[in-house]
Amino acid sequence: MQSLECPLYCMREEKAIRFGASLKRISRSHRKKPTTGFSMYNFCRKSCLENGTFSNGISSVTADNRPVMDCGQTASLIGFRVFLLWMASCVSVVSADDPELGSTPVSEPISSRADVNPTESPAGKTKIDITDLDIAELELLVGPRALSRAFRNAARKATPATVTILSYGQVNVMANQNPPAAPANPLEGDAEPEQRPEPDENQLTGVGSGVIVSKDGMIITNNHVITGAKRVVVKLADETEVEATAVRGDVDSDVATLNIKRKGGFPAVELGNSDLLEIGDWVLAIGSPFRLEATVSAGIISAKDRALRRISRGRLLQTDAAINPGNSGGPLVDLDGRAIAISTAIASRNGSYQGIGFAIPINQAKWIADELAAHNKVRRAAIGIRMAELNPKIAGKFKLPVGLGVLAYQITRDSAAEKAGIKPLDVILEFAGEKVSDPSSFQEIVERKPVGSIQDVKVYRKGKEIMLQVELATLEDPTLQKKEESQKNDSKNKKQQKNPNAKKSKASKPNADKSKGETKKD
């Protein structure tokens, strides 16, 4: 067995590689098999004690009069350094002597190749040779300050695209803020409602946040921030105020869009992929709580697929990042500074932050924003079924595997689903090539597909998998009756355009019949 060197006496003066070679072997062994890693650690410590570096646990000096620490301090320091190097091996900090990446050990010269970039790993990530790092630099990469550095970079990247939304003249907001007082004498009954003057377009009635998602000035915010406003003004990060145009909103999802214009464009945030988020991921909430612009708070994703009564379409993310009145419409960003959600609501007993906030996933918000921009409304597709989740109770009742898919227990008459051949008690396994796991995910998949498009549906029926095709209808009319009527009218109009003389003859014939009938009656 190769002996391990442990020159810990020169930690402050020498590079991390002086002790990193030994401890990196320990950390790598610990990752593969923890018992082996601990054994190598104990062997390294024992070697230090036996070769005289420490004397009976009492601080002393080495032969060249270098001060050393006692055993307890050194053991703690070794453990801390092992932890740092183990963390470094888990991220994209790659040593030049890492055999797992196929590179050459430090003791051997690296052969130069014209087709290989020595600064990149096979995965395309930048290599960092820890021989060039001192302790302070290593701690910046994997120590406690690394998280602070990530927060700082993410905030710096996303804050310029975060704006404050000022809404003027909202009648409903004024009514909610100033409810009528109770009568002085309850026995006299309620007095006549107080007549409140309608706020004009110069009276500020609401403050929220928003985020610029395109350089041409498209902003996503919450619908409740701008609903009923006679005028909306956007306050940028540089204190500039711009009048908003094309204000549109969707009540069911609480998403709204508006546009601003100026020469040179605007800083836009990069959009992430909210489908890749997991519980425990770090996030930052940026907004204007209590009109305190560009306030940043940190937290994690606490839960997914939450539902609120006032948001009937779509599922929400839950976070413990501080969200307060004024944060609504602001972005929730990841550690790369990419917007992954739009803050929208809190759960609170006093109206302020109590550790539970909710945000609309950015994938959902962006789809709604695109619909509003293109059609001034959100067109949601439907097929006309009522669904049930295959939980243990329902699955046991119908003798189906738990979590197999979504149970279609009721089919709307003459709906798109019925015309496609879907029957009651069919289990929907896949829709448009995507696996279906629960009713909420199935609803989102269906409603985001283009209305009128034909999609593949895989169902499970009596032990067999069947592939069907369904033409998507609108949520307002899942029976496709309006579409069929419009198609009939279009075909009639085309025939009339081809034969205008036939139209006149048909029109004259009933008149002739009518005149004959009148003659008979007379």
Backbone angles phi, psi at 7, to 5 degrees: -80, 70
Pairing of strands 255-259, 406-411: unpaired
Report d(CA 340, CA 270) in Å as an integer: 9
- Residue 477 known to be catalytic: no
Any idea what DSSP says for residue 101? G
Q: How far is CA 17 from CA 8, 106, 127, 129, 347, in A?
A: 11, 10, 15, 9, 51
Residues 297 and 361 in one domain: yes
- CB contact at 8 A, 321 and 297: yes
| Three-class DSSP category at 276 | helix
β-strand partners of 165: 208, 234
Burial label, 156 (beta-carbon count in 10 A; 0-12, 13-18, 19+): exposed
Report d(CA 408, CA 334) in Å as an integer: 37
Q: What is the pLDDT of residues 213-241, one digit of tens each?
A: 999 999 999 999 999 999 999 999 999 99
Average pLDDT over residues 156-181: 75
Residues 354 and 462 in one domain: no
Give domain status of residue 182, yes or no.
no
pLDDT at residue 63 greater than cutoff 80: no
Residues 251 and 396 in one domain: no
Any idea what DSSP says for residue 200? -
Average pLDDT over residues 403-422: 92
Report d(CA 464, CA 71) in Å as an integer: 69
The closest of 432, 189, 222 to 326, measured between CA atoms, is: 222
pLDDT at residue 85 greater than cutoff 70: no
Identified catalytic residue from 167, 209, 224, 415? 224
Of 375, 397, 425, the residue that ends a domain is 375
Residues 165 and 48 in one domain: no
- CB contact at 8 A, 340 and 366: no
Identified catalytic residue from 103, 297, 328, 415? 328
pLDDT at residue 274 greater than cutoff 60: yes
Identify the weakest region by mean pLDDT among 148-157, 179-188, 285-294, 365-374: 179-188
Give domain status of residue 65, yes or no.
yes
3-state percent breakdown (helix, strand, coil) of the chain, nearest 5: 35, 25, 40
* pLDDT for the residue 171: 81
Identify the residue with better confidence: 2 or 333: 333
- CB contact at 8 A, 234 and 179: no
Instruction: Collect contacts of 434-440 with beta carbons under 8 A, ≥24 apart.
Output: 436/405, 436/406, 437/403, 437/405, 437/406, 438/389, 438/406, 439/387, 439/388, 439/389, 439/406, 440/305, 440/307, 440/315
Residues 492 and 435 in one domain: no
Residues 456 and 349 in one domain: no
CATH number at residue 316: 2.40.10.120
Residues 172 and 26 in one domain: no
* pLDDT for the residue 144: 73
Residues 336 and 386 in one domain: no
pLDDT at residue 6 greater than cutoff 70: no
Of 375, 398, 432, the residue that ends a domain is 375
Give domain status of residue 386, yes or no.
yes
**For the whole model, what pTM was predicted?**
0.64
- Residue 224 known to be catalytic: yes
Give domain status of residue 69, yes or no.
yes
Tell me what percent of the residues of the chain surpass a pLDDT of 90. 47
Name the pLDDT band for 482 (thresholds 50, 70, 90).
low
**Which of 97-101, 120-124, 275-279 has the highest mean predicted lDDT (pLDDT)?**
275-279
Report d(CA 423, CA 417) in Å as an integer: 8
Give domain status of residue 184, yes or no.
no
* pLDDT for the residue 39: 56
Name the pLDDT band for 83 (thresholds 50, 70, 90).
low
Identify the weakest region by mean pLDDT among 30-39, 108-117, 118-127, 194-203: 108-117
Residues 280 and 324 in one domain: yes
- Residue 30 known to be catalytic: no
- CB contact at 8 A, 279 and 265: no
Residues 420 and 350 in one domain: no
The closest of 297, 202, 189, 315 to 254, measured between CA atoms, is: 315
Backbone angles phi, psi at 464, to 5 degrees: -125, 150
Q: How far is CA 311 from CA 56, 74, 286, 287, 445, in A?
A: 69, 57, 22, 21, 17
Residues 159 and 267 in one domain: yes
Give domain status of residue 465, yes or no.
yes
Name the pLDDT band for 180 (thresholds 50, 70, 90).
very low
Identified catalytic residue from 97, 98, 250, 254? 254
Number of compact structural domains in the chain: 4
- Domain residues for 295? 147-176+201-375
pLDDT at residue 189 greater than cutoff 50: no
Of 375, 399, 417, the residue that ends a domain is 375
Give domain status of residue 172, yes or no.
yes
Residue tagged 């709204």 (tokens): 256
Identify the residue with better confidence: 491 or 20: 491
Give domain status of residue 244, yes or no.
yes
Residues 255 and 368 in one domain: yes
Identify the weakest region by mean pLDDT among 301-315, 346-360, 498-512: 498-512
* pLDDT for the residue 140: 66
Q: What is the pLDDT of residues 352-372, one digit of tens each?
A: 788 999 999 999 999 999 999
